Chain A
Amino acid sequence: MTEAPAFPLFPHRHLLGIKGLSPLDIEMLLDRADAAVAVSRQPLKKLATLRGRTQINLFYEASTRTQSSFELAGKRLGADVMNMSVASSSTKKGETLLDTAATLNAMRPDILVIRHSAAGAAALLAQKVGCSVVNAGDGAHEHPTQALLDALTIRRAKGRIAGLLVAICGDVLHSRVARSNIILLNALGARVRVVAPSTLMPTGLAQMGVEPFTVMEDGLKGADVVMMLRLQRERMAGSFVPSVREYFRFYGLDARKLKAAKEDALVMHPGPMNRGVEIASEVADGPQSVIQEQVEMGVAVRMAVMEALLDPRRNEGDGE
């Protein structure tokens, strides 16, 4: 058990997105995550908070990084963790998401972590199962734990989020990470910019609470945080950008472009990185990079989320 102060009860059953969370909800998750960081840094990392609870990771898209982060988080909390790599099992035989959900639900898990290529998949699942659902990324919609871990990384490095200038750079159009971050950073009072070629900006971007920039140096000017997004190589085929070298020339983060940002600006990337596409190694491995911290914060945030969702105080008035 974390001996830390009793956190307020998290008022949601699922974590499907950052949308719908209040600034207080977010701060509370970040506070919990801070405590979890301390646990992960002890030699003995195992808690009993979720002992006897069952966590199922249902990953329809391969993701070594996120899946192992969730797995480790569950294990550190003492939960029994099962990984279902659905990409290789019954879904290939035509079973629908909801049929799989019904099957898993019958095994009575306490928490389902889902990654799916379709936007809205986590919400759909949440309607059909009796346990808590955590969205580990649904299409181009949301990836809430990524935004939380980014916020935790920023808060620990800068001491705050409110008033910071954050530039999110790259393929915002296809990015769930960008959407979750835009919502979260706005909720906590940061100023958000987006830097991308217009072909990779969603329609109506200027009404999403961000300032769009198509020239990277302009967008990075005075930024406290530079958040890079991964560019899928398939995007070249979709005529979004002409070539990797052209993209890197105008939108890849290198030392020269980074100079436009504040001297102590953080460099972030959700991984996995395409070095030489959206980011140069000199920057990714440089002194301003907090990319490794992000990975560490990922485990802590996921511990915090699962603890908050499976808060034992919830069961008292919450019979099925």
Chain B
Amino acid sequence: MSTTVFTNARVVDPSRGIDETGTVIVEDGTIRAAGADALNQGVPEGASLVDCAGKAVLPGLVDARVFVGEPGAEHRETIASASRAAAAGGVTSFIMMPDTAPVIDDVALVEFVLRTARETALVNVFPAAAITKGLAGGDLSEFGLLHEAGAVALTEGRHTVASALVMRRALTYARDMEIVVSHATQDPTLASSGVMNEGLLASWLGLPGIPREAEAIPLQRDLMLARLTGGRYHAAEISTAMSAAAMRRAKDEGLPVTAGISINNLCLNENDVGEYRTFFRLSPPLRGEEDRLAMVEALREGTVDIIVSAHDPQDVDTKRLPFAEAAVGAIGLETLLAAALRLYHSGDVPLLRLVEALSTAPARLFGLPGGTLKPGAPADLVVVDLDAPWVVREADIRSLSKNTAFEGARMQGRVLQTLVAGATVFSA
């Protein structure tokens, strides 16, 4: 029986509303106690003691939107390399998107991901399966069988289901199978050839814009279908004030709906695109500063439930191109926590709410273990120096791809140690 005791820590556990100085006791891979009174029963004999000297202990982050290149594009990212990046970023569980080659729309692929993860990954990897076969927007994949095999959610990944009928059926059937449908919305006809936020900046750059309505229109449709069907709907990534307003109304109505936001849309805006910097070509596109501020507020108040990294590894061959020809996406697993802590340091979002959105809420939404320091929970946790300054350097990135939107960025808050089921998978 092995026991580790983290003393003198700032224990943050949103699942119990705790943010206090105390102790975390880990025993055989599970949490035995965490909080100010954890030492009431004394230090177990033979335990190894770790003095955290006031550093924070949080439940490990749960990242609900991660793209990996395995199978099909292993040169961009494998499950193993993504898990190393995750561990370094304090992410102990992530949900992998089905946009692989082949697409994860079949039981055999779910099993492949789980097996590969078991054999090679440092952190917990949960596959999400495609809503429609081949992400083609037509026939539904086998929700029930996929769920049974271990898919934790259904999602169309980078795609948006164009047909309202298919979406209605998906939500209805997913309700029966008790599985969440997570959907990133962008109307392909309205977004058309758009490559960045529509506005003055795009006009000067001569780049076709994506109006905010391209996100909000299919989102509104989905919310109405969620009301019609009672299906569990999660808006995977919203980025505009009008989307947040739609979510707020739907939640006020009591619909079973939730929303996520990419860390990029919380920390960056369209000005970061500068002179055609392709690492800032993202989906949803970086919006204006008013939208970013509205999203921070939506996160603070809970209209937006969770934060995702939207980790999307792209190689030189897909990014070193003219802006409109470059692939969409940025990596984010290693910078998710530090970037999110900007909102804590700026005083915009309290730490407890931030950790809830990064860990507790996504675990609860998708029914995953973790996201809590409750006794009996798996010891997925992260020790963080909330104040330590550092600079993001390409050379330090563990992902196989280096397309970070935070190159050279100054961060405050550094992961010191990451544990998955009590085992240290990263230490600084």
> A203-218 CB contact bits vs B (8 Å, 1 = yes)?
1110110000000000
Task: Flag if B200 contacts A119 (CB, 8 Å).
Answer: no
The answer to the question of A196 belonging to the interface, with a C-beta cut-off of 8 Å to chain B, is no
Is A14 close to B, CB under 8 A? no
* Given A124-B276, A139-B206, also A118-B200 (CB < 8 A): no
Q: Tell me whether A96 and B320 are in contact (CB under 8 A).
A: yes
Q: A203-B199, A208-B204 are in contact. Are A119 and B324 (CB under 8 A)?
A: yes
Q: How many residues on A have C-beta within 8 angstroms of the other chain's C-beta atoms? A: 24
Known: A96-B317, A203-B198, A203-B209. A119 touches B322 (CB 8 A): yes
Report the separation of the CA atoms of residues A314 and B377 in the bound assembly, to the nearest whole angstrom.
69
Contacting residue for A204 out of B203, B207, B317, B320, CB 8 A: B203
Q: How far is the CA of A149 from the CA of B322 in the complex (A)?
A: 27
A142 to B321 alpha-carbon distance, docked (Å): 18
Is the Cβ of A121 less than 8 Å from the Cβ of B203? no
Residue of A19, A138, A202 touching B203 (CB-CB under 8 A): A202
Q: Are B206 and A97 in contact (CB under 8 A)?
A: no
Partner of B321, one of A97, A139, A202, A208: A97
Task: Give Cα distance in the complex from A124 to B325, angstroms.
Answer: 12
* In the complex, residue of chain A having the shortest beta-carbon distance to the beta carbon of B198: A203
Contact A208 B317 (CB under 8 A): no
Task: Let me know if B205 is at the binding interface, CB within 8 A.
Answer: yes
Query: Smallest CB–CB gap between B188 and chain A, Å?
Result: 15
Q: If A124-B276, A203-B209 touch, does A97 touch B322 (CB 8 Å cutoff)?
A: yes
Docked-complex contact A142 and B206, CB < 8 angstroms? yes
Q: Contact between B199 and A120 (Cβ–Cβ < 8 Å)?
A: no
**Closest residue on chain A to residue B200 by CB atoms:** A204
Q: In the assembled complex, how far is the CB of residue A143 from the closest CB belonging to chain B, in whole angstroms?
A: 10
A98 touches B (CB below 8 Å) = yes
**A123 within 8 Å of B (CB atoms):** yes
* A140 contact set on B, CB distance < 8 A: 206-208
If A96-B317, A97-B321 touch, does A119 touch B203 (CB 8 Å cutoff)? no
Within 8 A of B (CB), among A73-117: 96-98, 116
Question: Which B residues from 204 to 246 make CB contacts under 8 A with A?
Answer: 204-209
Q: Encode A169-208 as 1/0 by CB contact (under 8 A) with B.
A: 0000000100100000000000000000000001111011
Q: How many angstroms from the CA of A208 to the CA of B207 in the assembled complex?
A: 15
Alpha-carbon distance between A179 and B324 when the two chains are bound, in angstroms: 18
Q: Does B275 contact A (CB under 8 A)?
A: yes
Using CB atoms, name the residue of chain B closest to A125.
Answer: B322
- Residues on the A chain within 8 Å of B198, using CB: 203
Cβ contacts under 8 Å, B276 to chain A: 119-120, 123-124
B426 at the interface (CB under 8 A from A): no
Contacts of A120 in B (CB 8 A): 205, 207, 275-276, 322-324
Residues of B within 8 A of A208 (CB): 200, 203-204
Query: B205: which A residues are within 8 A, CB to CB?
Result: 119-120, 141
A119–B321 CB distance below 8 A: no
Q: Mark B313-328, 1 if CB is under 8 A from A, else 0.
A: 0000100111111000
- CB contacts under 8 Å to A, within B313-354, are 317, 320-325
- CB of B321 within 8 A of CB of A203, answer no
Q: Is the C-beta of B296 less than 8 angstroms from some C-beta in chain A?
A: no
Interface contact B322-A203, CB-CB below 8 Å:
no
Nearest opposing residue in chain A for B195, CB measure: A119
Q: Is B202 at the interface (CB under 8 A from chain A)?
A: yes
Is the beta-carbon distance between A205 and B206 smaller than 8 angstroms? Answer: no
A19 to B344, CA, bound (A): 38
* Those of B92-129 within 8 Å (CB) of chain A: none
Q: Which residues of A contact B275 (CB under 8 A)?
A: 120, 123
Which residues of A sit under 8 angstroms from B200, Cβ to Cβ?
203-204, 207-208
CB nearest neighbor in B for A206 = B200
Question: Would you list which residues of chain B between 254 and 284 have a CB under 8 Å from chain A?
Answer: 275-276
The complex places the Cα of A170 from the Cα of B265 at a distance, in Å, of 35
Q: How far is the CA of A129 from the CA of B23 in the complex (A)?
A: 58
CA distance A98 to B317 in the complex (A): 10
A141 CA / B205 CA spacing, docked (Å) = 5
Interface flags for B272-300 (1: CB within 8 Å of A; 0: not) read: 00011000000000000000000000000
Does A205 lie within 8 Å of B324, measured CB to CB?
no
In the complex the two chains form, what is the Cα distance from A174 to B103 in whole Å?
36
* CB closest chain-A residue, reference B277: A120
With a cutoff of 8 Å between Cβ atoms, the chain A residues found around residue B324 in the complex are: 118-120, 139
Instruction: Please measure, in the bound complex, the distance between the C-alpha atom of A176 and the C-alpha atom of B204, giving whole angstroms.
Output: 10
Give Cα A118–Cα B207 distance, bound, in whole angstroms. 9
Could you pull out 8 A-B pairs where Cβ atoms are within 8 angstroms?
A119-B323, A139-B207, A139-B324, A140-B207, A176-B206, A202-B202, A203-B198, A203-B200
Sorted from nearest, which 8 A-B pairs have the closest CB atoms?
A: A118-B322, A204-B200, A120-B276, A141-B206, A140-B206, A202-B203, A119-B206, A121-B322
15 extra A-B contacts, CB within 8 A, seeds A120-B275, A138-B206, A208-B204: A96-B321, A98-B321, A118-B325, A119-B205, A119-B206, A119-B207, A120-B205, A120-B207, A120-B324, A123-B275, A139-B207, A139-B322, A140-B207, A203-B202, A204-B200
